[in-house]
Amino acid sequence: MDGYPKLAIAFGKKKKPGHETGLFSFPRGLTTPSVHSYRMPATAPIYVIGHKNPDADSICSALAYAAFKELRGETTYIAARCGNSNARIDAILGRFHTPLPLYLPDVCPRVRDVMVTNINSVSTNATCAEALDFIDRHGHRIVPVLDDAGKFVGTVTASQLAHAFLPQIAEPKRMRQVTTDLKSIARTLHALVVHLGAEPARVEELYVRIGAMDISSFWKLSQAEGIPAGQSVIVVGDRRNIQEKSIDLGVRAIVVCGMQPIEESVLDAARARGVSLLMSPYDTATTAWLIRTAGRLSPLIDRKPTTINAEARLSELRKKIATSTAPAYLVLSEDGHLEGILTKSDVLKPVPTRLVLVDHNELTQAVPGADEVTISEIIDHHRLGPMSTAQPILFINEPVGSTCTIVADLFRRHNLKPTRELAGLMMSGLISDTLLLQSPTSTAKDTDILAWLESHADISAKALAELIFSSGSVILAQSAEKVVRSDFKVYDEEGVRFSVSQVEELGFDNFWSHADDLSAALTELRKDEKLAFAAVLVTDINTQNSLMLMKGDADFIRRISYTHIEQDEIFDLPGVVSRKKQLIPYLTSLLKEMSADGDSPSGRVRSISPFRG
Ligand SMILES: [Mn+2]
């Protein structure tokens, strides 16, 4: 609008062109140009999450660490879980009136995480000029077009617009043709409307003609081309004779350039004949060009552009986008509304999802997609897995009995008093993981921390242990398929992928009555997860002994030195209660031994088992 001459007053007209006609009629009130740039939301949540198939320590330490962060004034931490609850977790959370953490089946980056949502658009009634201005202002190569109800109609790209305005020498008539309405022409020209004829909002086919010739030759060309006067828009300077002749002919409109004054008699004649009269602030050449850009965008709209779903995974989309020439993808909701735009550069942006891993540090045990997002902290008490990060992170790893022990120690060291519920939750994780300090993984620090927590809780450690360990048999409560997956961890040792699930029971009766079903479920699990072998460690909390059910590579199983109770399948493991401290090191040593014998698992197991990952 810069440099627009304020001549309305001089003519005593109240009408102020441009603004009043709604120069840019963006729907949804998006008239303020907004920057199409990406900012990581300040409030993007950071999920505190335990391992897949969470146990009580994973759930309780996630809840307690998120609470610890909140007490420290960091409110964007959200406790989460990747897997279902079980009877023990339900009993603990019920006792301390705490809901389950947020369920996250995966954290795979999706279109929604990186798409741009502050979208500008133009309406279906927009002119090409408005679309060109949109491209100019926002630097987009694609213009989303919405209808009056805000529903997505299609797109117009910069190259489509460029093509529409390329001169077509073979068809000179088409180069002067414009399909629009008189109001759009006035709007595009920032014109002063002196008089508007009938139906100024009707979209019609018009032809631009410049009144540059002598009055004796004027109109001869139009006649030769067979363009009716009623479809002609005459662009002219301060040439009264041409203006009068045009009115006589009954042209649709006359546009007087350079804001040259119009004589009263011409104005009267135009009114009488119903010829529209506009004053353009621009010179003749610019005016003629701008009238063509006043053409409606509608015929150019691509009504079937490439669209994608906000839930689509970025990892899958990246390959597709790499070979695509589309300038951007439109993200549509189920009901056809435009939710966002995704360009190639958006796909390369950092994903805002961040994780704090508690009670694990190996990606094989982490929520799916953890390798595609930022891991900002790890709080754990397991052996170090082959994990690396792009940035330095806070990594607390202590060889204590539970992750809850470490989190409780953080409360204590920062002089933060846990609520009764939080103290109870942390006691639960500690008691559950250490079998009330009886497990070989338990340390003096666990004893110390448990006593400290007890002083803040409304239940004794002993009473809580009873509640936890009598919370119901996992084997009785669930199907065999679920039992083998309920506390299931995958390991990769000596190039061999295997799993060990653990079930804690009061006695082995429930195990023996379901041994056949569990055996079948374990065979399925091994197949599904492509494992060299799969084991279930069934621990009797009363006697602190375990049984191990194993399915898999026969040569490996033959090396197990524990007593077979059932041929090549069930072993007696007296005194073994810890998966990580006792069983995993033992199984790993067998794999190493096998490898040293030249019976290399990387060769043998791989060749024998079709299920190797
Ligand atoms: Mn743990």
Fold type of domain 46-109+353-469 = inorganic pyrophosphatase (n-terminal core) (3.90.1640)
Find the 59 Cα to ligand 1 centroid distance in Å: 9
Q: Write down how long the chain is.
A: 613
Find the 403 Cα to ligand 1 centroid distance in Å: 5
- The mean-pLDDT minimum among 172-176, 255-259, 453-457, 601-605 falls in 601-605
Inter-residue contact 486 to 520 (CB < 8 Å): no
Residue 606 has pLDDT above 50, yes or no: no
For residue 579, give the 3-state DSSP assignment: helix
Nearest to 147 by CA among 303, 330, 325: 303
Nearest to 379 by CA among 403, 363, 355, 400: 403
Find the 540 Cα to ligand 1 centroid distance in Å: 18
Find the 60 Cα to ligand 1 centroid distance in Å: 10
Give the model's pLDDT for residue 337. 87
Find the 427 Cα to ligand 1 centroid distance in Å: 12
Find the 433 Cα to ligand 1 centroid distance in Å: 6
- Residue identified by tokens 């199409």 is 36
Q: Say which CATH superfamily domain 172-295 falls into.
A: HprK N-terminal domain-like (3.40.1390.20)
β-partners of residue 142 are: 157
CATH 3.10.310.20 matches 480-608 = yes
Residue 612 has pLDDT above 70, yes or no: no
Find the 255 Cα to ligand 1 centroid distance in Å: 81
Residue 413 has pLDDT above 70, yes or no: yes
Radius of gyration of the chain from its Cα atoms, rounded to whole angstroms: 38
> What dihedral do alpha carbons 110, 113, 115, 119 form, nearest 10°?
140
Find the 374 Cα to ligand 1 centroid distance in Å: 22
Find the 376 Cα to ligand 1 centroid distance in Å: 19
Find the 560 Cα to ligand 1 centroid distance in Å: 26
C-alpha span between 545 and 511 (Å, rounded): 13
Average pLDDT over residues 384-396: 89
Computed over every residue of the chain, the mean pLDDT equals 86
Nearest to 59 by CA among 67, 135, 36, 463: 67
C-alpha span between 281 and 191 (Å, rounded): 7
Find the 114 Cα to ligand 1 centroid distance in Å: 34
Give the model's pLDDT for residue 150. 86
Find the 430 Cα to ligand 1 centroid distance in Å: 8
In whole angstroms, how far apart are CA 146 and each of 131, 143, 301, 303, 440? Answer: 12, 10, 11, 11, 66
pLDDT (tens digit per residue) in 575-604:
999 998 999 999 999 999 988 887 755 434
426 vs 602: which has the higher pLDDT: 426
Domain spans, the chain = 46-109+353-469, 172-295, 480-608
For the chain, give the percent of residues with pLDDT over 90. 62
Inter-residue contact 430 to 106 (CB < 8 Å): no
C-alpha span between 581 and 402 (Å, rounded): 12
Q: Which pLDDT band holds residue 163 (cuts at 50, 70, 90)?
A: confident
pTM recorded for the entire structure: 0.67
Find the 584 Cα to ligand 1 centroid distance in Å: 15
Q: What are the phi and psi torsion angles at 122 (to 5°)?
A: -120, 160
Residue 37 has pLDDT above 80, yes or no: no
Find the 531 Cα to ligand 1 centroid distance in Å: 23
Q: Give the per-residue SS3 of 147-168.
A: CCCCCEEEEEEHHHHHHHCCCC
pLDDT (tens digit per residue) in 94-124:
999 999 999 999 999 999 989 988 888 899 9
Find the 359 Cα to ligand 1 centroid distance in Å: 5
Find the 399 Cα to ligand 1 centroid distance in Å: 11
Residue 508 has pLDDT above 70, yes or no: yes
**In this structure, are strands 329-332 and 232-236 parallel, antiparallel, or unpaired?**
unpaired
Find the 226 Cα to ligand 1 centroid distance in Å: 87
Average pLDDT over residues 28-55: 60
Average pLDDT over residues 189-205: 93
Q: What are the phi and psi torsion angles at 535 (to 5°)?
A: -130, 150
